[in-house]
Amino acid sequence: MTARRAPDFRLEDAIRDPGFSPRRGDAAALCELVAAEGELADDAERSLLRLGAEAARVAMERARAAEAKARARLVAFVGKVAATEDAPELSAFLIDALGDADPRARRFAANALGKRKSPEAAAALAAALAVESDAPARRVIASALGKTGGDEAARALRELDTGGDELLARATAKASLMAQRTAGRDVPSSFEVDKPAPSPVPVALHCRAGLASILVREIDVRLAPRVAPDGEGDRVLATLIGPPARLFQARTMLFFGFPLPPVPLGPSGDVAEAVAAALTSPEALRLLEHFTAGPIRFRIAWAGGGKRRASIWRAAEVIAAANPKLVNDPTESTWEALVHELPERKAIEVELCPRVADPRFTYRGRDVPAASHPTIAAALVRVAGVRPEDVVWDPFVGSGTELCERALAGPYARLLGTDTSASALEAARQNLAAIGIQDAVLARGDALSFVPRGAPPTLVLTNPPMGRRVLRGIDLRVFFDRFLEHVASVLEPGGRIAWISPLPADSARAARELGLDRAFAQRVDMGGFDAEIQLLVSTRRGRPRAPGWR
């Protein structure tokens, strides 16, 4: 039952509240406020949008008898509803509005139809563009055609006579690129990861900052791997011989790309022209044509971050003019052109990074908050080493990524994971099962008190939550001091602890006090903050404390 409104209720006052929900009976009055385009028009439209297609029907009826200015405003409102409501009558109304006597109404209708991206919308827009005389409306219709895409839109834009209108020519050029890329999407494109390189080719393998010294040891020496000399510790350079698929043997790698020769910036400093020169160079075309099955589609991204849309469109226009086979398509691209700016050299370097399915971590069917990235887990395994007699314990098992990576690395005696979360243990169980591991022991337990049953662990392998999942409000220094003290007490003499410390200086001090030698230490980017991978080796003699469940 609808609650009664107060005697002094005024719709004009109510709509000022962003949380106001109108009744169906308010639609006509709200449409009048929208059509009036006064100070309450925006508030009225916000409220009216809550009624969806029902409000649009009232607006369409009101528009048929409205003056030009009010009619345009109502067409714009119907277009906003059509963006979220898939009602054929809304599309039909907007298509009819392309022939409205008022150019504003035609512009609003075209803009809305461009977002519909349907063949019917494309056909109607193409027909409207052929007869449109209003310059601003022509520009809007051209842009809308680019958004709908498809063969008909591309053909209409190709045939358009811009008549010396520079703004229309610019809008048409951009729209043509958009239409062409969507028109060709029915032809699949893929990166041939198993196809051998035509000749030895430079390749860059990327990793988390700090892991390059670990990644370099994973790569076949015949590829001449070496850490990039820039000092960032996030790239390894190599020479690819054979198929790119072999690069996925490196489990600490994030992705790989093929660096192209640097291109100097011209006198104008136009980055877009330099990017276009790199992507249309013989080196780029040789790689793109060799490894791509189907159309060559690419997207442009900036290594330093940011959108830079104007530069991307400028580069895409120059590339399309120089080589129409290269299609800029950020949605369905096979390649990412990663642009590294080199200000000290007044140049750019483009890296061609294939967008290909990663076959390494398909076991990750379940996850938990703050779970390890698999390349971090793989790095811990590499640092710890693989020994067939190892009894491996992860006291913060989470989704089991460390145990999965250790199981895939080689033989072991036993795998044990504990966590205080039942859902985490179930996630770990499912992920381990995905790689065929059924004998891992998973149990509820507190990392500060749990004592493994049976043979003591020879390797503690873990990436603790660092306050992001279960340690909120806890003094991390005290917590990790207690953690190290506990695991050192249950560790087999001579055993190892391979872990990630968010407080490396404190954990180094605690390790010394506990008789743990720090055999390896490396700073690593954890995604927003740095921590340290540490390998601690027990020098304690004698047996660990008696086993038993706790």
List the beta bridge partners of residue 201.
Answer: 240
What is the mean predicted confidence (pLDDT) over 110-114?
Answer: 92
What is the mean predicted confidence (pLDDT) over 400-414?
Answer: 98
Give residue 350's pLDDT.
97
Range 374-538 classified under CATH 3.40.50.150: yes
Q: Is the pLDDT of residue 520 over 90?
A: yes
pLDDT band at 546 (very low <50, low <70, confident <90, very high): very low
Question: Looking at this protein, which amino acid is placed at residue 110?
Answer: A
Give residue 168's pLDDT.
82
For the chain, give the mean pLDDT.
91
Among 225-229, 463-467, 534-538, whose mean pLDDT is lowest? 463-467
Distance CA 16, CA 8 (A): 15
pLDDT band at 378 (very low <50, low <70, confident <90, very high): very high
Q: Is the pLDDT of residue 550 over 60?
A: no
Q: What is the CA radius of gyration of the chain?
A: 31
Distance CA 173, CA 178 (A): 9
Question: Looking at this protein, which amino acid is placed at residue 235?
Answer: R
pLDDT band at 170 (very low <50, low <70, confident <90, very high): confident
Give residue 548's pLDDT.
33
pLDDT in tens, 459-486: 999 999 875 445 566 788 999 999 999 9
Q: Is the pLDDT of residue 491 over 80?
A: yes
**299 contact partners, CB below 8 Å, separation of at least 6:** 328, 329, 330, 333, 335, 336, 337
What is the mean predicted confidence (pLDDT) over 370-384?
Answer: 95
Parse the chain into domains and list their residue ranges: 11-183, 201-354, 374-538
pLDDT in tens, 113-122: 988 878 898 8
Q: Is the pLDDT of residue 547 over 70?
A: no
C-beta of residue 211 within 8 angstroms of C-beta of residue 184: no
pTM of the entire predicted model: 0.79
Give residue 403's pLDDT.
98
Give residue 15's pLDDT.
92
Which percentage of the chain shows pLDDT scores above 70?
Answer: 96
What is the mean predicted confidence (pLDDT) over 67-94?
Answer: 92
11-183 to CATH, choices 1.10.10.10, 2.60.40.1180, 1.25.10.10, 3.40.50.150 = 1.25.10.10
Distance CA 531, CA 507 (A): 11
- For 233, other C-beta atoms within 10 Å of its C-beta total 21
Q: Is the pLDDT of residue 543 over 60?
A: no
Q: Is the pLDDT of residue 104 over 90?
A: yes
Helix, strand, coil distribution of the chain in percent, nearest 5 = 45, 15, 40
- For 512, other C-beta atoms within 10 Å of its C-beta total 12
Q: Is the pLDDT of residue 2 over 70?
A: no
pLDDT band at 542 (very low <50, low <70, confident <90, very high): low
- The conformation of residue 331, written as its DSSP 8-state character, comes to S
Give residue 471's pLDDT.
57
- The conformation of residue 236, written as its DSSP 8-state character, comes to E
What is the mean predicted confidence (pLDDT) over 422-439?
Answer: 96
With the C-alpha atoms ordered 296, 297, 303, 308, is the resulting torsion angle positive or negative?
Answer: positive
> Domain 201-354 belongs to what architecture?
2-Layer Sandwich (3.30)
